[in-house]
Amino acid sequence: MKRVVVTGIGMINSLGLDKESSFKAIVDGECGIKSISLFDTELYSVKIAGEITDFDPTTVMNPKDVKKADRFIQLGLVAAKEAMLDAKFDSFDSERFGVSSASGIGGLPAIEKTSIIINTRGPRRISPFFIPSALINMLGGMVSIGHGIKGPNLSSVTACAAGTHAIGEAYKTMVLGGADKMLVVGAESAITGAGIGGFAAMKALSTRNDDPQKSSRPFDRDRDGFVMGEGSGALVLEIYEDAVARGATIYAELIGFGESGDAHHITTPTLDGPLRAMKAALKMAGDVKVDYINAHGTSTSANDKNETAAIKEAFGTDIPAISSIKGQVGHCLGAAGAIEAVVSLMAMRDGIIPPTINLENTDDDCDLDYTSNGAKKAELNCVMSNSFGFGGTNGSVIFKKVN
């Protein structure tokens, strides 16, 4: 079977506009969650999010084209550009290079704005750019246009597992011979009235508005819901022999990928689904010791205790180090899997386990070591990243250092 490696990564989130600054802030335990400024929250029960407040889309787009792409696409272009620059290609065969993009909701701001226009100003005032800017697969479309990538152009729309599934889809495409290189990019920006109001109506979000920095509390007894974040993560995947031949820097090899469905409930997870995703990834990876798990760790009651139980079942007495970064950047929905894969790769590169912040009171159902007392230095040779989404869709990926 063909070997697939990572040769470039990029990231943007509420703690930084690039991978190095945001990773440092994550490791330092900083928090990017703050009061929302993207819309007026006066009438909303939730007023906080992991919002990116200093982003200028003209850094990656011609000013006249900004209106053609909703914010999630703009953020995706940032991460994709960084990953491509990081991969340091002198040239490539454009027809053997593909894109695997992901988003859970996509152009919700454009949809919300256009709905208001229809009801207040009439259908004749709809922008001709509305549909292209809102389509989830337009993320991959605009990334491919920007980088001249003409191979398979795929899109995963599987809620909060989308970013992880996009990595798996890219891997499958390459192993089956459809491409030699794939650019994976997951992006999300759903901090709107409809996005925040919709999740709040489900009682899924934290209402700790008076203390945003403490609002996202993965695995903590006093957690009261997740906090929405926004951002993007990107990875360049390449056939191992090609990467070696061109002298590329190799972050890791993708050795395991597992996916499953709960077939249980639209929002409440089961133990079985996440467990089978992890087991499938471990089976594919073979005889390997996982040193670190970047947990889905959403700060919701159902996920955190369920994921804890699934990890126990999957690993038995040999449980790896665990942490969740959602206390730092919030839950970036469809982008979370891509962002957290990048964080996992950087953790392995630097030999450091990011902390789970705001874990102050241990939940009886969350009784593992989640790296709650600050980042820890550790030799990491193999890492796993988990993502589980509404609808009972699950994904796990495993990366290993290339010796």
Beta strands in 213-332, from DSSP E residues, in sequence order:
231-239, 252-261, 292-294, 321-323
- In this predicted structure, the answer to whether residue 141 has a pLDDT above a threshold of 90 is yes
Closest CA relative to residue 269, chosen from 259, 277, 261: 261
pTM of the predicted structure, to 2 decimals: 0.97
**In the predicted model, what is the mean pLDDT of residues 18-41?**
98
What is the per-residue pLDDT for 302?
A: 96
Per-residue b or e along 184-210, where b marks 16 or more CB atoms closer than 10 Å to that residue's CB? bbbbbbbbbbbbbbebbeeebbbebee
- In this predicted structure, the answer to whether residue 125 has a pLDDT above a threshold of 90 is yes
The class that CATH gives domain 1-403 is alpha beta
- In this predicted structure, the answer to whether residue 221 has a pLDDT above a threshold of 90 is yes
**In the predicted model, what is the mean pLDDT of residues 309-319?**
97
Beta strands in 88-164, from DSSP E residues, in sequence order:
97-102, 153-156
**In the predicted model, what is the mean pLDDT of residues 240-260?**
98
| 296 is known as an active-site residue | yes
Which pLDDT band, with edges at 50, 70 and 90, does 403 fall under?
confident
pLDDT 10s digits, 172-211: 999 999 999 999 999 999 999 999 999 999 999 999 999 9
Cα–Cα distance for residue pair 266/337, rounded to 1 Å: 19
What average pLDDT does the structure give for the chain? 97
State the catalytic residue, choosing from 31, 147, 165, 296.
296
Beta strands in 289-348, from DSSP E residues, in sequence order:
292-294, 321-323
State the catalytic residue, choosing from 160, 332, 366, 382.
160
What is the per-residue pLDDT for 371?
A: 98
How do the residues of the chain divide into helix, strand and coil, expressed in percent and rounded to 5? Answer: 40, 20, 40
| 331 is known as an active-site residue | yes
Which pLDDT band, with edges at 50, 70 and 90, does 1 fall under?
confident
**In the predicted model, what is the mean pLDDT of residues 296-318?**
97
The proportion of the chain whose per-residue pLDDT surpasses 70, expressed as a percent, equals 100
**In the predicted model, what is the mean pLDDT of residues 225-246?**
98
pLDDT 10s digits, 34-82: 999 999 999 999 999 999 999 999 999 999 999 999 999 999 999 999 9
**In the predicted model, what is the mean pLDDT of residues 225-238?**
98
Cα–Cα distance for residue pair 38/261, rounded to 1 Å: 34
The two three-digit tokens of residue 309, written as one number: 């139980």
| 147 is known as an active-site residue | no
pLDDT 10s digits, 80-117: 999 999 999 999 999 999 999 999 999 999 999 999 99
State the catalytic residue, choosing from 31, 147, 331, 332.
331
**Region for residue 65 given its phi and psi (left: phi exceeds 0; alpha: psi -120 to 50; beta: otherwise):** alpha
What is the per-residue pLDDT for 118?
A: 97
pLDDT 10s digits, 352-394: 999 999 999 989 999 999 999 999 999 999 999 999 999 999 9
**In the predicted model, what is the mean pLDDT of residues 25-35?**
98
